[in-house]
Amino acid sequence: MLLRNEPNVLARIRVLTVLFIIGLVLSGATAIPLVTEIDWLAQLTGAREALGTTPGSTPAWTLWLCKVQDAIHLAADKNPFLFYGTDWLAFGHFAIALAFLGALRDPVRNKWLFTWGMTACALLIPYALVFGHIRGIPFWWRCIDCSFGIIGIIPLWLCRKWLNQIEAGTGTGTATASSRALVSDPWR
């Protein structure tokens, strides 16, 4: 039986899934034009100009941004093949986003994707902290990287919670085979 709230819950799940997919695609896309992005960010923030200020008063983020900009330009000039790694990073984001199209199409049947995504978001935190330390990334930047996992887990957790409620029939609806068929694929 399709209860009145189930389509609304599934619509909310789909909206959050679309937002998650968009986040993955945008995050992946930003891994490709690194030279252009770092130059734009340095220009936007005035990081290079800030280096010429009073010694010892330059903010840590400015020093870090200029160091990264110098390294990216050095790599682009001498070893541009290194950027092939970030191209693959982008591809990984795109592939994960494609997987979530299954959750978008049929969230009830593909509930496992939300659990898997939450696990990946949770594992991002120790991964960023450990490998960031090994690579000499400042702690404050590693915290920014960890925030992607923290922010990403929120919509996935909500989707999984709502799907559990649908399956349990706790006032938001029950996911019988007939109700899934009615609302799981609006493009059918």
pLDDT digit string, tens, across residues 50-100: 886 666 778 889 999 999 999 999 999 999 999 999 999 999 999 999 999
Length of the chain: 188
pLDDT greater than 50 at residue 188: no
Output 107 or 186, whichever has higher pLDDT: 107
Residue 91: what pLDDT?
A: 98
Query: Which stretches of the chain are DSSP H helices?
Result: 6-29, 34-45, 47-51, 60-78, 83-105, 111-134, 139-168, 177-183
Return the DSSP state at 4.
Answer: T
Q: What token pair was written down for 27?
A: 């995050």
Residue 171 is assigned to a structural domain of this protein: yes
- Mean predicted lDDT score pLDDT of the chain: 88
pLDDT greater than 50 at residue 171: no
Instruction: Find, among 124, 123, 103, 104, the residue nearest to 113 by Cα.
Output: 103
Residue 82 CA to its chain's centroid (Å): 23
What is the domain count for the chain?
Answer: 1
Full residue range of the structural domain in which residue 178 is found: 6-31+83-182
Answer whether 158's CB lies under 8 Å from 91's CB: no
pTM over 0.85: no
Residue 43 is assigned to a structural domain of this protein: no
Residue 51 is assigned to a structural domain of this protein: no
Residue 53: what pLDDT?
A: 67
Give the model's confidence band at 15: pLDDT under 50 very low, under 70 low, under 90 confident, else very high: very high
Residue 17 CA to its chain's centroid (Å): 12
Q: How far is CA 123 from CA 94, 103, 109, 120, in A?
A: 19, 21, 24, 5
Residue 76 is assigned to a structural domain of this protein: no
pLDDT greater than 50 at residue 186: no
Residue 96 is assigned to a structural domain of this protein: yes
Site of tokens 């340095």: 42
Residue 118 is assigned to a structural domain of this protein: yes
Residue 157 is assigned to a structural domain of this protein: yes
Residue 7: what pLDDT?
A: 79
Residue 36 is assigned to a structural domain of this protein: no
